[in-house]
Homo-oligomer: A and B are copies of this chain.
Amino acid sequence: MKKIINDANEVVQDMLDGLIAAFPNQLKLVEGTTVVARKNAPIPNKVGIISGGGSGHEPAHAGYIGKGMLDAAIAGEVFTSPTPDQVYEAIKAVDGGAGVFMVIKNYTGDMLNFEMAAELAEADGIQVAQVIVNDDVAVEDSSFTTGRRGIAGTVFVHKIAGAKAESGATLQEVQAIAEKVVNNVRSMGMALSPCTVPASGLPSFELEENEMEIGMGIHGEPGTEKKEIASANEIAEELTNKILDDMQLNSGDEVAVMINGLGSTPEMELFIVNGKVHQILSGKGIKVYETFVGEYMTSLEMAGCSVTLLKLDEELKQLLAAESLAPAFRK
């Protein structure tokens, strides 16, 4: 295991210290927690938006904190759900009196712990609502999930729910728009190589030198199949077609495209995939409103990528285009 770390058991705290050092005017660590919040949280009368999960997916989730996106993010241990008490601290840190909205990826541990935290907060009189993101079309049920997993499409939920909250919407309105995003976003990924969780020191899965895995999860959960490495065009086709099989997209529809790198895939390769995805969509008359290429939801140093499509309407386009000052999603 080759990593630039100090102590494999302290990587999350060390990372958070380095994050706050980088953005001292925008972010703060809620004392005694692994919760990162906007410096000016809570914001009176604005719905607070929180997300989070295991660490190792950077820039998710703390990189999405800022005006127009999240108010706070909870960092669990690497690939481990944050505990209910940490989520509860995040809710309290961002409640400005208009309630708190939780963006949860569909992993059993995350759901249990966020929901327990919500109960604690509701007992304090804080209104809490939530959405469960399950954009990964690869598999039904998985190592840590009943139903579909939440992956890179979650970033679009952060962006659009965040923009809605920033516009002064109510908790119910934020929930409605977040559900609209979840209903219209689909993703699928593939990997060329695994990653290694620092505390375990072992690769998350194994692949032969000529193999790739299609549909694996962002914690190395098994996908649909291991097979010989294909060309970028074939990979783009396989991922995109699986997504298109699952969502109603017609000629003339507009989408946002995200080509997400999982950690060690050169940007060059992501752009090569992007070219083919655009060709496929163009061939079907589907218009691309905006494209995002880069590392948005990683798996430490896993090599591979995911494709995400978000079907847009006028309201979603406007919220996607709204200002964001989050470090990892400046608009």
Interface size on A, residues (CB 8 A): 57
Q: Which residues of B contact A6 (CB under 8 A)?
A: 231-233, 272
Of the listed stretches A52-60, A126-134, A146-154, A170-178, chain B binds: A52-60
Known: A56-B268, A59-B267. A4 touches B295 (CB 8 A): no
**Complex Cα spacing A272 to B300, Å:** 14
CB of B267 within 8 A of CB of A303, answer no
Determine the distance from Cα of A6 to Cα of B195 in the docked complex, in whole angstroms.
24
A284 touches B (CB below 8 Å): no
Which chain B residue lies CB-closest to A300? B266
Given that A2-B193, A233-B6, A263-B266 are contacting pairs, would A271 and B301 also be in contact in the complex, using a CB cutoff of 8 Å?
Answer: no
Q: Bound complex: CA of A79 vs CA of B9, how far in Å?
A: 38
Question: Known interface pairs A2-B303, A330-B330. Does A23 touch B291 (Cβ–Cβ under 8 Å)?
Answer: yes
A192 on interface, CB distance cutoff 8 Å: yes
Q: Is A81 an interface residue (CB 8 A)?
A: no
Q: Which of B4, B23, B59, B293 contacts A272 (CB 8 A)?
A: B4
Q: In chain A between 27 and 84, which residues have their CB closer than 8 angstroms to a CB of chain B? A: 55-56, 58-59, 63
Q: Which residues in B have their C-beta under 8 angstroms from that of A5? A: 231-232, 269, 272
Q: How far is the CB of A247 from chain B (nearest CB, A)?
A: 21
What 0/1 pattern do residues 286 to 304 of A give for CB contact below 8 A with B? 0010010101001011011
A11 to B229, CA, bound (A): 17
Determine if B21 and A274 form an interchain contact, defined as CB atoms under 8 angstroms apart.
yes
When distances are taken between beta carbons in the complex, the residues of chain B under 8 Å from A56 are 266, 268
Q: Which residues in A have some Cβ–Cβ distance to B below 8 Å?
A: 2-6, 11, 14-19, 21-23, 55-56, 58-59, 63, 192-193, 195, 209, 212, 229, 231-233, 235, 263-276, 278, 288, 291, 293, 295, 298, 300-301, 303-305, 330-331
Seed contacts A11-B272, A18-B271, A264-B301; 14 additional CB < 8 Å A-B pairs: A4-B192, A4-B273, A5-B231, A6-B233, A11-B268, A21-B288, A21-B291, A22-B271, A58-B271, A63-B267, A264-B303, A267-B298, A268-B300, A295-B295
